[in-house]
Chain A
Amino acid sequence: MHIASVLIRRILNAAGLLAAVLILCFTLIHLAPGDPAEVIAGEMGGATEEMMAEIRALYGLDRPFHVQLLSYLGNVAQGDLGYSFYFNQPVTDLIVERLGATLLLVISALLLAIFLGTFLGVVAARNPNGLISHFVTVLALFGYAAPVFWTAIILLILFASVIPIFPASGGMYDITGPDDPISRALDIAHHMVLPVITLSTIYLAFYSRLARASMLDVLGSDYIRTARAKGLAEVVVVYKHALRNAVLPVVTFAGLQFAQLMSGAVLVEAVYSWPGLGTLAFESLLRRDTPTLLGILFFSSMVVIIANLLTDIAYRLIDPRIRSGAR
């Protein structure tokens, strides 16, 4: 099958999924106990029965469900996800402002986890009873069992308070610092270290274990024996012939786990006050700001869908068997 036609099908599928997310968001608002008009009235500081009717009419809350749904979908298509009374800003603007910070955090953590995890896994697989191999096993257990927000807090206590080498204030940069691009970038990098390390721990543990298993499998395969029989140096055998095959499951899981990664980001951001979607979600949760929270759910799902699409493409680039549609 041609890659373009696969891509088109995937994009259509992604659009369908996004529409489903929207319908879910909308349905959830309606299923939830409590009258949205009352909530809005509450945000405005109370309202009479007449004002309530006015609010209902204004927001179309008196129309039938499907009409409201269609108009909601129409609004979203135009980039309107509603209005946040707490932040006094359109939800879309709020989210777009913070999306970059979350993506920076999530992508850095993912790349760190994939590269370091794969490397550890490969080293462990080359010596299955060695020290690194045991370390990977232990790391995998600990990485899974430690709650990510707790890891974040412990790292914060250790490296911002006990040994103060990273900023304790959290955030993305120091607003009082110099604002030329280079100092700002360095400042952001400095603020990023702990959140990125925290978020990558879980996945680092998982990928190193996955890469180890996958590498052990590949190293026992016939084509690795062939590569050795050619007289290739062990480094070439491992890092050229084996790695490219062993990394396939890691790529698959990286895509599948993007949703979990966005979840973890919420907790990590909340601890480090990282000004991204997670902190926004945390704040809107405290304020019971439903439109913002649903907007974040929608945008995060979109990020996951796009990440899945990219994973699919990456997989096809690495594995010629999938590329040509043969399995």
Chain B
Amino acid sequence: MAPPLLSVRDLRVEFDTRDGIIPVIQNLSFDLHAGGTLGIVGESGCGKSMTALAVMGLVPGPMGRIAGGSIRLDGEDLVAAGEQRLRQVRGNEISMVFQEPMTSLNPVFTVGDQIGETVRLHQGLSRREAVNRAIEMLRAVGIPAPEKRVHEYPHQLSGGMRQRVMIAMALACRPRVLIADEPTTALDVTVQAQIFDLLQDLQAETGTAIILITHDMGAIAELAERVIVMYAGRKVEDGPVGEILGQPLHPYTKGLIRCVPHLEADPPVERRELMEIPGVVPGLSQLGGVGCPFSPRCSESRPDCNMMPVEKAGPGDHSVACWAVSEAAS
């Protein structure tokens, strides 16, 4: 197998808070191959978005910082790279689509200016060429009448349209990695499907690798090849999408999957009950403890859970960090 395009090893991100230094991401490792799609799932506050910002080199300072590990793009360690090099990477080799299309576009510049700005910066296009590229990109993301829309301001577009603009902006330089952070959470359900279809089409066309961050298991099933499940800043399970969805090992993953309602063409007489995971995600100040952070909410909690579980290989290409699993699976 070819070496991975993006390889994250033992990533640790820390924040300074009033209660001291808090690790919001610990021991995170994953690989992304060229043209592949990696899903990252977990509830809000599990460190998914922070992972994305870390890859972009945009951990909000001065409180936050990458405190350890490496993020290698084609072998080059971005953690060690200077700000200037990171600016060349951002928007050009790795780009990102954010969760909030309503507020992620600058209200005082036209859509065309904002898309064009990226290509002018990274590819040195002239103003006129940049407008043409912006029109081309708007057409590619399925915005009707792009010649007209290119001169409009964000407030003149609907939420779905704005997210398309964000995607157009992110893909304008043909990046090798696209990070989509909850790209559809703020949108209507029908629009959500359109955006996912669009991402899939564009990926097929451009070969961009995608990191899809979401808590929507349906989207993961449809788009991702591999999935990592995060909880409280740690990876708790990692594997091919089929195995994770079909045979989840970690109690948290099982919980997440049970939360998803299933629409079936021919529903069985007795439908599975829709479950929720009791309790809430630990707050910032609760991170960095010695025990398994999920144990307070876990139905399979046991005395060992006072210690942090280590990642261990499960069946096949599947790994999990849980004391309860070790006996059952391996």
Contact = CB atoms under 8 A, between A and B. Distances in A.
- Do A and B contact each other directly (Cβ–Cβ < 8 Å)? yes
Interface of A: 221-223, 225-233, 241, 244-245, 318-321, 324, 326
A321 B153 contact: yes
A317 to B, nearest CB: 10
B156 A229 contact: no
A319 B108 contact: yes
Interface stretch (B33-41, B114-122, B138-146, B207-215): B114-122
A231 B90 contact: yes
Contact of B103 (A222, A244, A318, A320): A222
B108 A244 contact: yes
Given A245-B106, A326-B155, A228 B121 contact: no
21 contacts: A222-B100, A223-B104, A223-B106, A223-B107, A227-B106, A229-B90, A230-B117, A230-B118, A231-B90, A231-B92, A232-B91, A232-B117, A232-B121, A245-B106, A318-B108, A319-B107, A320-B108, A320-B153, A321-B107, A324-B153, A326-B156
B59 to A, nearest CB: 11
A68 to B, nearest CB: 51
B121 A231 contact: yes
Contacts of A326: 155-156
Given A226-B105, A245-B107, 18 more contacts: A222-B104, A223-B103, A225-B58, A226-B106, A226-B166, A229-B95, A229-B98, A230-B95, A231-B121, A231-B122, A232-B121, A241-B106, A245-B106, A245-B108, A318-B108, A320-B110, A326-B155, A326-B156
B104 A226 contact: yes
B248 to A, nearest CB: 32
A221 B96 CA distance: 16
B15 to A, nearest CB: 15
Contact of B96 (A223, A229, A318): A229
B87 interface: yes
Q: Identify whether the interface residues of A are mostly helix, strand, loop, or mixed.
A: helix
A233 B89 CA distance: 12
Closest 3 CB pairs of A and B: A231-B90, A230-B91, A231-B91
Given A230-B117, A230-B169, A320-B155, A223 B91 contact: no
A222 B162 CA distance: 13
Contacts of B106: 223, 226-227, 241, 245
Contacts of A233: 87
A288 to B, nearest CB: 52
A140 to B, nearest CB: 24
B56 interface: yes
B321 to A, nearest CB: 30
A327 to B, nearest CB: 9
A238 B155 CA distance: 22
Nearest to A218: B106
Interface string B145-167: 00000000101100000000010
A226 B98 CA distance: 8
A109 to B, nearest CB: 27
A319 B90 CA distance: 28
B286 interface: no
B19 to A, nearest CB: 19
Contacts of B108: 244-245, 318-320
B299 interface: no
B126 interface: no
Contacts of A231: 86-92, 118, 121-122
B184 to A, nearest CB: 16
Contact of A229 (B56, B100, B153): B56
A233 B118 CA distance: 11
B120 to A, nearest CB: 10
A49 to B, nearest CB: 70
A320 B156 CA distance: 10
Contacts of A244: 108
Nearest to B87: A231
A324 B151 CA distance: 13
A13 B95 CA distance: 50
Contacts of B118: 230-231
Interface centre among A231, A241, A321, A326 (most CB of B within 10 A): A231
A229 to B, nearest CB: 5
B225 to A, nearest CB: 24
A318 B153 CA distance: 12
Nearest to B107: A321
Contacts of A319: 107-108
B271 to A, nearest CB: 39
A46 to B, nearest CB: 66
B156 A324 contact: yes
B134 to A, nearest CB: 13
Contacts of B56: 229
B58 A223 contact: no
Contacts of A321: 107, 153, 155
Nearest to B103: A222
A71 to B, nearest CB: 50
Nearest to A319: B108
Nearest to A129: B62
A225 B98 contact: yes
Contacts of B169: 226, 230
A229 B86 CA distance: 10
Nearest to B106: A223
B2 to A, nearest CB: 26
Contacts of B91: 229-232
Nearest to B99: A222
Nearest to B101: A222
A319 B155 CA distance: 11
A321 B108 CA distance: 8
A320 B155 CA distance: 9
